[in-house]
Amino acid sequence: MKIATWNINGVKARLDGLVTWLGEASPDVVCLQEIKSIDEAFPREPIEALGYNVATHGQKGFNGVAILSKRPLEDVTPRLSGDEDDVQARFLEAIVPDDHDGIVRVVSAYMPNGNPIGTEKFSYKLAWMERLEAWVDDRLALEEPFVLAGDFNIIPESIDARYPQRWTEDALFQPESRNAYRKLTARGLTEALRTVTDAGDIYTFWDYQAGAWQKNNGIRIDHLLLSPEAADRLAAVGIDKHVRAWEKPSDHVPVWIALS
C-alpha cells in the first residue's frame, strides 16, 4: 500500500499537476493539506475519474485537508478533538482496508504555522500539538497500524534545513516546536524517512521567493509518522522532488511510503 502526503497549496490552482502526479505515481492513499476550498467546491470529478474516493474537510480560502483513496474510506472523522471552539480545518481521519483483511488508519493533518513567535498564533500551535499528543495516545492504545501524515510546519533537526541559522527566529524551528515533534516520536511513533536515511539535503519545501528552488534552499517539514504496527510493515520511503519543477507548482512536494 502506497500512502502519500502533499501540501497542495490550493487544489484548484494545482489541479492539473495533482492529476498528472496521481496518474504518474499511482498512490493508493493521498493526504492533501492546504486545499483552500470548501467541501462543496472541491474539484472531485477529475480525481474520481482516476478511481479515487474523496473525503474533505475544508474551509474557504485557507487551510483545509483531504484524503484520496483507491480503497473505500470508512469512519471518516474531521477535526482534532480537545477544543470544540477550534473551527480551523486542519485534521481529517479515515480508515482504509489493507491487503491482508485488515485496516490502516490514516490522518491528513495540517499543523499550525505559529508565526510570529510571541503571539497567540504560536500559543495556538503548541496547544494544537498538545491535543495531537492526546489523540496519538488514544490511537496507540488500539494497537493497530496508523499513519499520521501531513505538513507539520516543524523542522525537526538542523540537518533538515539548508541554512538552519536562518530559521532560528521562526516558529518552525523553535525549541518548543521541535520538542512537540519529539514527544510524538517518544510515544512510539516512527518517522518514516529517518528510518531509511540520515542524509542531509533532503527537503520537502522550497519557498517561492529568492530562487529558493533553484538554489536548493529548502527545509523538510512534511512528515509521515507511523505506529509500531505500521512501522513493522514499512518497505520504502520516497520524495517526488521533481514535481517542484513543474509549471505552477506547490511550494511543497509529495512524500510517500510503501507498506508491505
- The catalytic residues are 110, 151, 252
Residue in 257, 256, 224 with CA at minimum distance from that of residue 243 = 256
Cell of 37: 476550498
**Residue 216 annotated as lining a ligand binding site:** no
Residue labelled with grid coordinates 525549541:
175
| DSSP secondary structure letters along 50-62 | TT-EEEEE--SSS
Neighbours of 210 (CB within 10 A): 9
Residue labelled with grid coordinates 501524515:
149
Cα(153)–Cα(221) distance, integer angstroms:
5
**Residue 7 annotated as lining a ligand binding site:** yes
C-alpha 200, offset from chain centre: 20
Q: Are 6 and 223 in contact (CB under 8 A)?
A: no
Residue in 84, 135, 63, 81 with CA at minimum distance from that of residue 105 = 135
**Residue 28 annotated as lining a ligand binding site:** no
Amino acid at 196: V
Cα(96)–Cα(31) distance, integer angstroms:
12
**Residue 34 annotated as lining a ligand binding site:** yes
C-alpha 219, offset from chain centre: 14
Which residues are part of a known binding site? Answer: 7, 34, 151, 153, 251-252
Which residues are part of a known binding site for Mg(2+)? Answer: 7, 34, 151, 153, 251-252
